[in-house]
Amino acid sequence: MRDRIQKARLRVHLGLYHNETSEAASGTCRRTHYLETWGDARAFDGTVTIQQPLIQPLYGGRSANQFLQMLTGSPDTSPYEIVKGYWASQHKGADFEAWWRRAVHDGVVPDTALPTKAGHPREAITARIEAPRLGGKLE
């Protein structure tokens, strides 16, 4: 793996810990713990939640969103502005501020659950392994 990493011209490691990957990297960026930053996540059913920080970053790290934002034309955008800006682009309507405050308060972005699929897992497996029908003819 180290040989493959060494082939890249730019090798930057974003992480919480010093490890083998950070040793192979040409630069390291300290990552914030997920409890230190804003973000969003999707639950198993597809529902999106807005992640709020519980504490201020302790060691001056960067979130994954901030790290990617550093590669754009506005590297000093805060994690809050990144997440809010994304959801502002996704929400269509004049009431974004009220919608945003409600989503942050409730911890859930409304109407983001994925549609459920009907059926039984055994039926899906049986359908996949059923032998092809040759119409009574031999091959």
**Is the confidence at residue 138, as pLDDT, over 60?**
no
Percentage of residues in the chain with pLDDT exceeding 90?
Answer: 37
Decide: helix, strand or coil at residue 45.
Answer: coil
Model's pTM, two decimal places? 0.72
Alpha-carbon span 39 to 49, nearest angstrom: 9
Alpha-carbon span 23 to 7, nearest angstrom: 14
DSSP string, 77-105: --HHHHHHHHHHHH--SS-HHHHHHHHHH
Kindly report, residue by residue over 1-30, the tens digit of the pLDDT.
Answer: 778 888 888 888 889 888 888 888 888 888
**Is the confidence at residue 128, as pLDDT, over 80?**
no
Average confidence score pLDDT of the chain: 85
Helix, strand, coil percent content, the chain, rounded in steps of 5:
35, 15, 50
